[in-house]
C-alpha cells in the first residue's frame, strides 16, 4: 500500500486514489423511506411494528419505516390505493369496497383472521339486542369500517339500514360518549372488550359480527399495487419482518408493548396487555396455524367479495384474486395456537 501511495503521488493521482479508497470503505446505501398508515391510533395490535422498528429489523432489511396514525380503514385504503402511502392497515371488507372504486390495493397478510367488529350498548338505555337498534344513535368515526359495512350488518340482522342515526365519535372517545348517553350504541374492535366490560359491568351488551354469520377478514396489511410491482423484493422483506415481529410478540408481548409505550403516549399498559390476549384469539384460525401466520385463504376471500357485492354492491366488479397475495409470506412462520387463552 505504501508503494502504491508513493507511486500515486509521483504520478499526481492522489485525488483519484483517495476517491477510490473512500468508495471502497463507503457504507451501504441508505435504507429506503417507507410509510405505513395505520387504521386507527396505535394500540397493542400495532405493537409488532414498533417492536420490529425498535429492534432494527426493518432497517436491516433496507427499510426506513415511518408509522402514521390512521383515521379509519376507509381512509387508509384510499391513501394506499392512491399511492399516498405504500403500506397500510385496513379492514379487508372495507379495502374491497375501495378497490371497487378504483383504489390500487392488494392485501398481503391478515392480522385479524376473524373479524373484530363488535357493537356495544348499555341495556339501561333500552337496547337489549340488534332488534332494538332502530331509532337509536350509533357512535363511531366517519371512516370506521363498521360504518362502511353497516348495510351488510343491518341486512343480516334484519333491520333497515336507515333506521339508525350515526354520530361522529373519535376512536378514543367512544366509551365516554356511551357513558354520557351522547350515543346509545358504539362500534369497536373486540380487542377493546375488557375495557368496556370493566367500565359498565352487567349493564353492557354486545354482539360480534361473527355471531350473526358475518366473519370477513379483519385488519390486514395492504400495499399499493403499483408499488408492489415496482418493489417486489422490498415488499417481501417488509412482510416477512412483520410476520417475524407478530410471531415474536405472540411468544412474549412484554418487549413489544414496551416498544409501543415508548413511542405512543396515553396508553395504559394493563389495558394493552388485556387487548393483546383478545388479539391473539382474533389472529388464530385453521390457516394461520397450519399455512402461515397472516395467511389469506382464497375461498374465504371469495366469500368476503360476495358479501361486499351482495350488501354494498361493487362500483366496478373485479377478480377477487387480484385483491390479495400470499406469495410474500414466509410459510415457516405460523401462529402459535398454544399461546391463545381458551
Look at residue 99 and tell me whether its pLDDT is greater than 90: yes
Domains 32-113+218-339 and 117-212 share a fold: yes
Average pLDDT (133-154) is 89
Of 305, 232, 257, nearest in space to 86 by CA:
232
Model pLDDT for residues 190-217, shown as the tens digit of each residue: 988 998 999 999 999 999 998 898 999 9
**Are the C-beta atoms of 98 and 80 separated by less than 8 Å?**
no
- Three cell numbers written together for 145: 369500517
- Which CATH topology does 32-113+218-339 take? D-Maltodextrin-Binding Protein; domain 2 (3.40.190)
Average confidence (pLDDT) over 14-24? 40
Structural class in CATH, domain 117-212:
alpha beta
Residues with Cβ within 8 Å of 60's Cβ and at least 6 positions away in sequence, in order, are none
How far is C-alpha 144 from the chain's CA centre? 13
Out of 103-112, 164-173, 235-244, 321-330, least confident range: 164-173
Domain extents for the chain? 32-113+218-339, 117-212
Cα–Cα nearest to 106, from 301, 285, 291? 301
Distances (CA, A) of 221 to 138, 199, 200, 203, 294: 27, 31, 33, 35, 9
Least confident range from 27-41, 70-84, 323-337: namely 27-41
CA of 25: how far to CAs of 63, 126, 279, in Å?
22, 73, 46
How many other CB atoms sit within 10 Å of the CB of residue 320? Answer: 18
Model confidence, pTM: 0.82
pLDDT for 13: 41
Q: What digits encode the pLDDT tens for the residues 221-260? A: 999 999 999 999 999 999 999 999 999 999 999 999 999 9
Amino acid at each position: 500500500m505504501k508503494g502504491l501511495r508513493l507511486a500515486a503521488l509521483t504520478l499526481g493521482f492522489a485525488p483519484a486514489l483517495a476517491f477510490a479508497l473512500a468508495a471502497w470503505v463507503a457504507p451501504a446505501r441508505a435504507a429506503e423511506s417507507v410509510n405505513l398508515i395505520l387504521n386507527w391510533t396505535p394500540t397493542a395490535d400495532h405493537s409488532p411494528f414498533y417492536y420490529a422498528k425498535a429492534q432494527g429489523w426493518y432497517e436491516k432489511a433496507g427499510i426506513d419505516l415511518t408509522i402514521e396514525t390512521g383515521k379509519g380503514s376507509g381512509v387508509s385504503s384510499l391513501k394506499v390505493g392512491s399511492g399516498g402511502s405504500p403500506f397500510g392497515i385496513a379492514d379487508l371488507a372495507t379495502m374491497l369496497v375501495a378497490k371497487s372504486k378504483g383504489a390500487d390495493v392488494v392485501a398481503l397478510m391478515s392480522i385479524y383472521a376473524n373479524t373484530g367488529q363488535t357493537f356495544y350498548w348499555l341495556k339501561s338505555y333500552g337496547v337489549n339486542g340488534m332488534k332494538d337498534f332502530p331509532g337509536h344513535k350509533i357512535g363511531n368515526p366517519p371512516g370506521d369500517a363498521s360504518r362502511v359495512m353497516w348495510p351488510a350488518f343491518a341486512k343480516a340482522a334484519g333491520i333497515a339500514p336507515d333506521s339508525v342515526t350515526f354520530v361522529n365519535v373519535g376512536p378514543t372517545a367512544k366509551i365516554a360518549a356511551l357513558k354520557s348517553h351522547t350515543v346509545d350504541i358504539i362500534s369497536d374492535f373486540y380487542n377493546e372488550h375488557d375495557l368496556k366490560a370493566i367500565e359498565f359491568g352487567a349493564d353492557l351488551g354486545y354482539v360480534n359480527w361473527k355471531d350473526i354469520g358475518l366473519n370477513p377478514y379483519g385488519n390486514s396489511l395492504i400495499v399499493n399495487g403499483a408499488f408492489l410491482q415496482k418493489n417486489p423484493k422490498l415488499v417481501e422483506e417488509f412482510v416477512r419482518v412483520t410476520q417475524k415481529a407478530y410471531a415474536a410478540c405472540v411468544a412474549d408481548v412484554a418487549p413489544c408493548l414496551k416498544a409501543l409505550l415508548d413511542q405512543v403516549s396515553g396508553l395504559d399498559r394493563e389495558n394493552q396487555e388485556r387487548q393483546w390476549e383478545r388479539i391473539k384469539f382474533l389472529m388464530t384460525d385453521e390457516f394461520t396455524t397450519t399455512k402461515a401466520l397472516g395467511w389469506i385463504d382464497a375461498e374465504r376471500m371469495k366469500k368476503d367479495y360476495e358479501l361486499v357485492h351482495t350488501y354494498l354492491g361493487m362500483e366496478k366488479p373485479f377478480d377477487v384474486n387480484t385483491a390479495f397475495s400470499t406469495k410474500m409470506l414466509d410459510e415457516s412462520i405460523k401462529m402459535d395456537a398454544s399461546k391463545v387463552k381458551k
